[in-house]
């Protein structure tokens, strides 16, 4: 399971012109699910995302996690993160999870984040989405479990 996290001062997801999820300060999480991922993987990655220290403390050092910074999460499914780009000029998606497994683990991941105490908004799984964000920093990290 892959999470591309971006520290944002604002982010939102729209589907067919309507906003389906939005946050103020926090993390935009683009989430890719691979075929060997399971519930334990989703829980482990949720804990890592929620506890990852990418927000500045009073000394300007990245020392605070999203909860400590009183931030929120916007989780967006992104199957292209599981692409294999090593060969050729076209990505292969053979490592990606089936839509059924990906949907289940996407929702479990979001639920775990909420259980860990972080307000969590979502995009719409398998929809054509428009994501708008203001990257703060910019600060972007690739996390994988």
Residues annotated catalytic, as ranges:
78-80
Q: Residue 144, Cα to own-chain centre: how many angstroms?
A: 11
Q: Residue 109, Cα to own-chain centre: how many angstroms?
A: 9
Q: Residue 119, Cα to own-chain centre: how many angstroms?
A: 13
Per the rule left: phi > 0, alpha: psi between -120 and 50, beta: everything else, 126 is left
């Amino acid at each position: 399971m892959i999470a591309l996290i971006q520290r944002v001062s604002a982010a939102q997801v729209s589907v067919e012109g309507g906003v389906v999820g939005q946050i103020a300060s926090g993390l935009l999480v683009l989430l890719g699910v691979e075929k060997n991922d399971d519930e334990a993987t989703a829980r482990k990655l949720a804990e890592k995302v929620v506890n990852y220290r990418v927000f500045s403390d009073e000394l300007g050092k990245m020392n605070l996690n999203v909860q400590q910074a009183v931030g929120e999460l916007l989780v967006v499914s992104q199957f292209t993160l599981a692409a294999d780009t090593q060969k050729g000029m076209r990505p292969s998606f053979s490592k990606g999870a089936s839509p059924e497994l990906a949907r289940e683990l996407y929702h479990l991941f979001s639920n775990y984040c909420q259980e860990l105490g972080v307000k969590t908004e979502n995009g719409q799984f398998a929809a054509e989405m428009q994501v708008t964000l203001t990257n703060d920093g910019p600060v972007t990290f690739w996390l994988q479990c």
